[in-house]
Structure 1
Amino acid sequence: MINTFHSSYNPPPVPPRTGYSKPQPVGNSPLVKFLSVMLLLLMILTIGGFLYLFQKLNMQLQGSYQEDMTSLQRLQDCADSSMDSMTECGKLMEKYKAAIAKVSQANEKLSKLTGGPHVIGPAAHMTALSEHKDKNSDFLKTNSLLWDEEQSLVQDVRFSNKRDKLTIQYPGIYFIYSQVTFSKPSTSFGLKQSIRSIDPKTQDVKELLKSFCSLDPDASSDLCTASLSGVFRLEKDQQLYVTVANTSLVNRNSCSFGLFKLQ
């Protein structure tokens, strides 16, 4: 017999077999839950570590800023002569100059590595301390010539607090020169200038160069200039200065002292 019965409804589902259980979704397995918890902990630890490092770095920067401001204030107090201990000012200035020298050396190395413009090495050209700046007549109280740092070139070389000596920062071969003009004759000492050096280890004083000139005692307006120059190997912390027998005979308008590193 041909079945001619038709229906639009789907047939009923097959009843489950005995002992059959529906499989759980993959996302609810214990392994996935464990990995989710570990990932959450890792994110918390990462964010916490980042916040800790950020806070620590921020505190270090603030501490460094406060330190710098304190140092600048102390330098300002030294400039205003309001500090009781001038020895402390001297030590502070030495640290400041040493830091500047290190920065300059680092910039020179960086320039060589990057192929940038070459920074000039250690050099100095000193000009004698003028009379209107020498209010206490310090120039006449010593045989060493005093120099005006504001009117001089000083780079990668330390200038002493007494304004008479240059201290080598970087050892090497240097060209040294000086020129001293005399305006008055001397019959007892002679018109002589010399560049002297202080050994950094033994503190022994050595005369590196010397020169002479002469003036007619009967002439009142004559000038004579003693010049000298030479090449020397200098060590770190070696000190150089120019000395004369009598600084009252010197014409300060035409005196200079300098050096520069050859290699």
Structure 2
Amino acid sequence: MINTYHSSLAPPPVPPRQTGSHQVLIPAPYPSKGHSKTLVRFLVGVALLHLFLSVGGFIYLYLRDEKETSATFTEGKPEGKAAARSAAPSQEALAHLVVDNETAKKSISGYLQWDFNHSNLTHINPFLKSWLTILKPGNYQVYSRVTFTNGDTKGHRTIPLTSRVKLKMSMTGEEKVVMTAYCHLDMHRGPETIPGMCTATQGEFIRLEKGNQLSVWVQDLSLVDYDKEATTFGMYKLP
């Protein structure tokens, strides 16, 4: 009998033949346990070294900054008890004025003028030639010393000479007297009057606000002793 049945399926592929040039993959051997331990120890050592260097660098920078800060703070300052005696805060407002010896020639208003180029001012501003402007509000110790002399002038002065500290609340504010002092000038020896001197000294605690202005007025500018140690004006802010 003739088989007439035909299948549409293709025959299975023939496997390739192995030749001498065919490469066989051989798996690489795993690293030994001893090699792994050495690598781990090396990495741990590097990490610890980095940690120690970081901590050491931080400590060095911290100590250096502390030393520089301490040196800056103490530079030029006395130590021990001397430092305690000079504990007045250098950054507080203060003024110590040197009188201008040309005041009598320049001023006709009775206000003393000051040599601001040779005066000490901290957080207080000069205004014109006679006034000081407050920049920091607070309680101030204000002082004034005006020395009068009659020189070679003749005649008797039966009334005392006057020195006043005046205050303005602002640049254009009204003036008011906050301190007054007197002194007698003439000295008598028999029927004659000899040259004499007297000093009107005053000091007061005054509450001052920002923008307030202070000045010193005298009765007769021509009788003022313009020595810088004899006639002064100043103030300092209390802590």
1:170: which partner in 2? 136
| Contact 2:162 2:183 (C-alpha < 8 Å) held by counterparts | yes
Structure 1: how far apart are the matches of 2:112 and 2:156?
A: 17
TM-score norm. by structure 2 comes to 0.56
Which amino acid in the other structure matches residue 164 of structure 1? S
Higher strand share: 2
- Which of 1 and 2 has higher RCO (CA within 8 Å, sep 6+)? 2
Q: 2:121 aligns with which of 154, 175, 189?
A: 154
Please give the per-residue CA displacement for 1:130-184, whole angstroms capped at 9, x wherever unaligned. 24xx6x9214x220000001111011001012x1000111110000000000012
TM-score norm. by structure 1 comes to 0.52
Please give the per-residue CA displacement for 1:177-206, whole angstroms capped at 9, x wherever unaligned. 000000128738631101010122981211
Q: 1:249 aligns with which of 215, 223, 227?
A: 223
Assess, with a 3 A threshold, how the Cα gap between structure 1 residues 186 and 260 changes in structure 2: closer, same or farther. Answer: farther
Which amino acid in the other structure matches residue 125 of structure 1? H
1:196: which partner in 2? 166
> Aligned pair 1:211/2:181, yes or no?
yes
Structure 2: how far apart are the matches of 1:244 and 1:219?
A: 23
Structure 1: how far apart are the matches of 2:171 and 2:114?
A: 25
| Contact 2:159 2:184 (C-alpha < 8 Å) held by counterparts | no
| 1:1-263 equivalences in 2 (<5 Å) | 7-10=19-22, 119-131=90-102, 137-139=105-107, 141-161=108-128, 163-184=129-150, 187=157, 190-200=160-170, 203-216=173-186, 218-253=192-227, 254-263=230-239
Q: Share of identical aligned residues, percent?
A: 28
Deviation larger for 245-254 or 117-126 = 117-126
Higher helix share: 1
Assess, with a 3 A threshold, how the Cα gap between structure 1 residues 8 and 179 changes in structure 2: closer, same or farther. Answer: same
User: Structure 1 unaligned runs (5+)?
Assistant: 12-114
Aligned residues: 151
Structure 2: how far apart are the matches of 1:10 and 1:233?
A: 107
4+ residue runs of structure 1 moved beyond 6 angstroms? none
Structure 1: how far apart are the matches of 2:18 and 2:213?
A: 118
Assess, with a 3 A threshold, how the Cα gap between structure 1 residues 202 and 188 changes in structure 2: closer, same or farther. Answer: farther
User: Structure 2 unaligned runs (5+)?
Assistant: 1-16, 24-71, 75-88
1:104: which partner in 2? none
Q: Whose Rg is larger?
A: 2
Which amino acid in the other structure matches residue 208 of structure 1? V
Assess, with a 3 A threshold, how the Cα gap between structure 1 residues 186 and 148 changes in structure 2: closer, same or farther. Answer: farther
Deviation at residue 122 of structure 1 after TM alignment: 0.4
Assess, with a 3 A threshold, how the Cα gap between structure 1 residues 215 and 242 changes in structure 2: closer, same or farther. Answer: same
Give the match's secondary structure for 1:241: strand
Give the match's secondary structure for 1:194: strand
Q: Indicate the RMSD between aligned Cα atoms, in angstroms.
A: 2.8
Deviation at residue 252 of structure 1 after TM alignment: 0.6
